Amino acid sequence: MVKKRLYLELENCIGCRSCLAACTQCGGHEQRNRNYVYDVNPLKNRQTMPLMCLHCVNPACARSCPAQAIQIHETGAVLSALVEKCIGCQNCTIACPYGIPKFDTEQNLMYKCDLCIDRTKDGIPPMCASVCPSNTLQWLTDEEIEAKQKQFNLDNGKWVTSMPYLEGETNVRVNLPGILQGVTKLF
* Eight-state DSSP code of residue 22: H
* Residue among 3, 32, 46, 185 that touches another protein (CB under 8 A): 32
String of b and e for 37-61 (b: at least 16 CB within 10 Å)?
Answer: beeeeeeeeebbbbbbbbbbeebbb
Is the peptide bond prior to 97 cis by the omega test (within 30 degrees of 0)? Answer: no
- Among residues 118 and 141, whose Cβ is nearest to another protein? 118
| 170 belongs to the binding site for another protein (CB under 8 A) | no
| 70 belongs to the binding site for another protein (CB under 8 A) | no
The contact mask relative to another protein for 84-113 (x = CB under 8 A, - = no) is xx-xxxxx-xxxxxxxx-x-x-xxxx-x--
Question: Among residue numbers 39 through 58, which ones bind another protein (CB under 8 A)?
Answer: 39-43, 47, 49, 51, 58
* Residue among 115, 117, 129, 172 that touches another protein (CB under 8 A): 117
- Among residues 3 and 32, whose Cβ is nearest to another protein? 32
When computed from its CA atoms, the radius of gyration of the chain, rounded to whole angstroms, is 17
End-to-end CA distance of the chain: 29
